[in-house]
Amino acid sequence: MELQNLRSAVSAQTITQEEARRLKTEGESLSHTIQELSRKISETDNTMLSLEVTLSNRIAAAEDALDNYNYLLESLDLYPVLPEPWEGINLRLELNTATPNPQEMLAGPDFATVIKPTLNDIANSKRVERAAIESERIKVDNELDLLTTECENLDYEIAELERKVANLNEQAEAIREVSCTVVALTCAFACADVRV
């Protein structure tokens, strides 16, 4: 019934040949436009899929980088509490991929105004500490070198004294032998005088 009403409405309309050609041309043009739009929609779908894969890969890479960053903070004892005078600053970052605003994807303190200056200050502080420790190590090494030299000198002096003591012992032994010989000769002369 509805189809018959539609056909009767169409047949009741009078269209000139010019209007029919124009409608046919517009129909072909619309058909061509629809095909072109379908092709562009297909290309857009492919581009969207490609961008979703790229986004997914970049999110995974960002999560890995943040995990590494946060792990480094912990391994350097910069998380959960920083050393003085930075103890009130939290350097930890988190990725919030659920937010629709790209500006809010990175949760945590601002990198340029908080994290980078704080890490630079900590690095400079550690450099100063390391330089002081290195200076102290060099001082201790120098003292050890001096003590080693003194010990070597004492070893040399002890060896010299032992050599002198050995010479004195040899001289004392020789003197003992000579004195024994002198005593024996004195006794022999004394005995000989007594007999005479």
Distance between CA atoms of 40 and 52, rounded to whole angstroms?
A: 18
Asked if the model's pLDDT at residue 69 lies above 80, the reply is yes
Q: How far is CA 184 from the centre of its chain?
A: 89
* HSE toward the beta carbon, residue 141, CA cutoff 13 A: 6
- Weakest mean pLDDT among 17-26, 67-76, 158-167: 17-26
Share the mean pLDDT of the chain: 89
CB 67 within 8 A of CB 56: no
Confidence of residue 186 (pLDDT cuts 50, 70, 90): confident
| pLDDT number for residue 183 | 84
pLDDT digits (tens, 9 = 90+) for 82-95: 888 888 888 888 98
| pLDDT number for residue 193 | 65
- Weakest mean pLDDT among 104-108, 119-123, 125-129: 104-108
Domain residue spans in the chain?
Answer: 37-148
Tell the burial category of 188 from Cβ atoms under 10 Å away from its Cβ (0-12, 13-18, 19+): exposed
Q: Max Cα separation, the chain?
A: 190
Distance between CA atoms of 39 and 26, rounded to whole angstroms?
A: 20
If one compares 191 and 27, the residue with the highest pLDDT of the two is 27
Confidence of residue 195 (pLDDT cuts 50, 70, 90): low
Asked if the model's pLDDT at residue 196 lies above 60, the reply is no
| pLDDT number for residue 30 | 92
Tell the burial category of 1 from Cβ atoms under 10 Å away from its Cβ (0-12, 13-18, 19+): exposed
If one compares 124 and 13, the residue with the highest pLDDT of the two is 124
